[in-house]
Structures are given as C-alpha cells and as structure tokens.
C-alpha cells in the first residue's frame, strides 16, 4: 500500500486536482445554467451567482494546479532518458509508439488551453456578477467557454489515463 514519491505526485496531478476540477465544473455549470432571473427570485440570483463564483474559481485553480504539476513535476519523469521511463517504454514498442507520438504529444499541449479559458471564465463571472443574469448573451458565451475549457482538460485527462495504463510512472 506504499506509494512512491512519483506515484504520489501522479495521484495529486490526476486524481486530487482532477476531482476538484470535476466538482468545480459541475457546480459552476449548474449555477451558470440556472442563473436566469425568470426562474429565480433576486435572492436566488444572488445564491446562484455565489455558487457560480465558487465553481468557476475552483475549476480554474484546479486546472492551473493540474497543468503546473503535470508539466513541471510529472512530465520530466515521463521523458527521462532512461530505459524504464514511460516515454522510453512506449517508443521501444512499435505497437505502443503512437501513445507517445500522438497521445502524449497532444495531451501535453492541449491541456494548457484549459486553465487559460477557465481563468477567462472566472474573470467574467467575478467581473460581470449579476449582470450575467441580466444579459443572457454574455451568460451563454461564458457557458460556451466554460464547456470548452472542460473539453480540453477531458481530452488531456483521457489520454493521461490511457498512457498511464500503457506505461505507468513508477
């Protein structure tokens, strides 16, 4: 049941921050979707906005935490020039090479679009406040960016899980 330092960091990168990311997305999306004055009382608008702020900020923080730990802590172990590193294991097997050439190459880049867009959404929600309830166009635009930020992270997370299955970091 002991975890190595590398396994612990991988856990923080993928599971701990990933769970926070998912919670932030689910809470933020629900709050943004229902932030409509025709469905809510003024107190309800205030409550939804509060939840939206918590959700979008949590997702942005989790997204930054995920890419920073992934790029600067876990990735150097992945690409070590040693025979036992995941990169070396994948490249040594013709049947697994594409997990690096396509999967990892895309994941390591596209993941960074998520925190950028999540931060944009957090700014809009904090700056515009209850204006989001008054201006449906801005609210829908914010939701679109929020879902896009989630989609990029989901692509990266999916490849991360599959690559870890093919060549675990130990």
Q: Rule CB under 8 A: which residues touch other proteins?
A: 42-43, 45-46, 67, 71-72, 75-76, 79, 101-102, 105-106, 108-110, 112-113, 116-117, 119-120, 123-124, 127-131, 133-135, 137-138, 141, 144-145, 148
Helix (H, G, I), strand (E, B) or coil at 111: coil
Measured CA to CA, the distance from residue 49 to residue 47 in angstroms comes to 5
**Contact (Cβ atoms closer than 8 angstroms) between residue 78 and residue 86:** yes
Provide the 3-class DSSP secondary structure of residue 81: coil
d(CA 6, CA 84) in angstroms, rounded, equals 13
The distance of closest approach from Cβ of residue 115 to other proteins in the complex, given in angstroms and rounded to an integer, is 9
Rounded Cα distance, 119 and 160, in Å: 22
If the CB atoms of residues 16 and 138 are measured against other proteins, the closer one turns out to be: 138
Q: Which of 39/109 has CB closer to other proteins? A: 109
CB of 149 to other proteins, least distance (A): 9
Q: Tell me how far apart the alpha carbons of residues 7 and 13 are, in angstroms, rounded to a whole number.
A: 10
CB of 63 to other proteins, least distance (A): 13
The distance of closest approach from Cβ of residue 41 to other proteins in the complex, given in angstroms and rounded to an integer, is 8
Which residue, 156 or 167, has its beta carbon nearer to other proteins? Answer: 156
CB nearer to other proteins: give 19 or 136.
136
Contact 63, 22 (CB under 8 A): no
How far apart, in Å, are the Cα atoms of 92 and each of 2, 76, 138, 170? Answer: 29, 18, 50, 17
Between 21 and 152, name the residue whose CB sits nearer to other proteins.
Answer: 152
| Minimum CB distance to other proteins, residue 136 (Å) | 11
């Amino acid at each position: 049941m002991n975890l190595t330092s590398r396994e612990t960091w991988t856990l923080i990168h993928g599971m701990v921050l990933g769970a926070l990311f998912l919670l932030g997305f689910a809470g933020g999306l629900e709050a943004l979707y229902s932030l409509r004055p025709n469905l809510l009382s003024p107190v309800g608008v205030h409550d939804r906005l509060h939840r939206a702020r918590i959700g979008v900020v949590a997702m942005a923080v989790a997204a930054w935490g995920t890419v920073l730990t992934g790029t600067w802590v876990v990735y150097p172990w992945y690409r070590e020039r040693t025979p036992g590193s995941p990169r070396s294991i994948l490249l040594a097997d013709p049947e697994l090479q594409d997990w690096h050439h396509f999967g990892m190459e895309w994941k390591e880049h596209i993941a960074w679009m998520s925190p950028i867009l999540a931060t944009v959404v957090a700014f809009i929600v904090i700056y515009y406040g209850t204006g989001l309830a008054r201006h449906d166009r801005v609210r829908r635009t914010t939701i679109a960016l929020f879902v896009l930020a989630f989609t990029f992270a989901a692509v990266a997370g999916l490849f991360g899980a599959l690559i870890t299955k093919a060549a675990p970091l130990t």
